[in-house]
Amino acid sequence: MDKQTYKVLVPHDFSSVANCAVNHAAKIANSFSGEVYLLHVVSKTKEVDAAREKLNVIARDAEEANGVNFHVIVRIGNIFEDIGDVASEIGAGFIVMGTHGAKGMQKIMGSYALKVISHSKVPFVIVQNQDPKHTETYDDIVVPVDYSEVTKQKLTVAANIAKHFDSKIHLFYDLESDEFLKKKLDRELSFAKNYFLERKISYTLNQAEVKGQFKKQLVIFAAKIDADLIAIVNTQEGALLPDFFGSEEQVVIANEAEIPVIITNPTQQVMAGGVLGT
C-alpha cells in the first residue's frame, strides 16, 4: 500500500446525493494530491459486472471533471459492514457519505451505519445534495464549543483542517446563565482562543442569541455565514451521538442548510496524511 497517496472512500449507491459526495471527496483528495475510491456493494454475484460498469462510468466522468484519479471497488455483502473494512484495506483518510436530509438519515443511518461510524478509525464527512462551492478549499469551519471532554479534540480536528485549507474557524458557544457552567465554558473558550492563536489560525467568537435549542442555533449561524463545514465529535461509544434519532443532534447532521458535517470519534485526530490516534 502506498502510504504517500492520500485516499478518500465514497460509498456509492448510484443516487444524486452520492454523486455530490463524489464531488466533495474529489475536492478533499485534490487538496492532498490524492485519489478517490468508489465503493458499491451488491447482494449477488450476478450483479457485480453491471454495478462495476455503472461505477466505471461515474469514475471516468468524475476524473475528467475534477482532475483526480478514481478507483472502483465492487463487493458482495452489506455496504454498512463493508465500509470500514474497505477503508482499512486502502488506508483511507476520509470517508465521504451522502444522505437525503432528516428523512434520509433515518434510512441511511441505521444500526449498521451507526456501528461503522462509531467504531471507525476514519473520520466521516456527511454531505447532502449541496455541491461544493467553486473553490478548492473549505474557507469557513464552524466548531461548537461546550464543556464536554471532547471539546479539545474538536479544536484539534478543526485546527488540522484549517491549517491545510487555510480556513477561518468560527467558534459557536451557548448562552449560559448558570455561574458554575459559565465559568467552565469561559475556561474552554479561553483555551480555544490560545490554541488557535498559538497556531496562527484565524478565528471568531460567536454566542447563541437565546438560551436553549443550541444545535438549531448552531445550524442557523452556520447557514448565515455560508459555512463550508461543521466539525463535531462522537460523544458516546456505540452510537453516533447520544439519542441520535429524535434528538437535537439530528438537526446538525441532517441540517436543512445542507452544510457538510465532519464526524470523528474521541481520540481521532485528522492530519494532512491521515488520522492519528485511535
Select from 83, 100, 127 the last residue of a domain: 127
Are 16 and 90 within 8 A, CB to CB?
A: no
Q: What is the pLDDT of residue 121?
A: 77
Last residue of a domain, one of 127, 158, 183: 127
Q: Are residues 93 and 188 in the same domain?
A: no
Same domain, residue pair 40 and 93: yes
d(CA 262, CA 157): 9
Say if residue 99 is in the same domain as residue 160: no
- Which domain, by its residues, includes 236? 140-269
Q: What's the angle, vertex CA 184, arms to CA 181 and CA 188, rounded to 5? A: 135
The answer to whether residues 109 and 187 belong to one domain is: no
Residue 209 burial by Cβ neighbours in a 10 Å radius (0-12, 13-18, 19+):
exposed
In a domain? residue 88: yes
Q: Are 106 and 192 in the same domain?
A: no
Q: Could you tell me if 232 and 172 lie in one domain?
A: yes
Question: How many distinct structural domains can be found in the chain?
Answer: 2
Q: Of 127, 159, 193, which residue is a domain's last?
A: 127
How confident is the model at residue 16, as a pLDDT?
A: 87
Burial class (CB in 10 A: 0-12, 13-18, 19+), 180: exposed
Q: For residue 274, is it within any domain?
A: no
- The torsion angle over the Cα atoms of residues 170, 222, 110 and 276, rounded to 10 degrees, is -20
Q: Could you tell me which of 94, 31, 95, 38 has the C-alpha nearest to residue 61?
A: 38
pLDDT score at 226: 93
Q: Is residue 193 part of a domain?
A: yes
Grid coordinates standing for 74? 465492487
pLDDT for res 46: 95
Q: What tens-digit pLDDT sequence spans the chain (278 residues)? A: 344 689 999 999 898 889 999 999 998 998 889 999 999 999 999 999 999 999 999 999 999 999 999 999 999 998 777 888 899 999 999 999 887 655 544 455 444 455 667 667 788 888 887 766 545 678 999 999 887 665 677 788 889 889 989 999 999 999 988 899 899 899 989 999 999 999 999 999 999 999 888 889 999 999 999 999 999 876 554 444 433 333 455 678 878 888 998 887 765 555 444 443 33
Do residue 211 and residue 144 come from a single domain?
yes
Evaluate whether residue 2 is within a structural domain. Answer: no
Q: Is residue 58 included in any domain, yes or no?
A: yes
12 and 63 inside one domain: yes
- Residue 122 sits in a domain whose CATH number is 3.40.50.620
pLDDT at residue number 128: 85
Give, to the nearest 10 degrees, the angle between helix 179-198 and helix 151-165. Answer: 30
Task: Quote the DSSP letter at residue 131.
Answer: P
Q: What is the pTM of this model?
A: 0.83
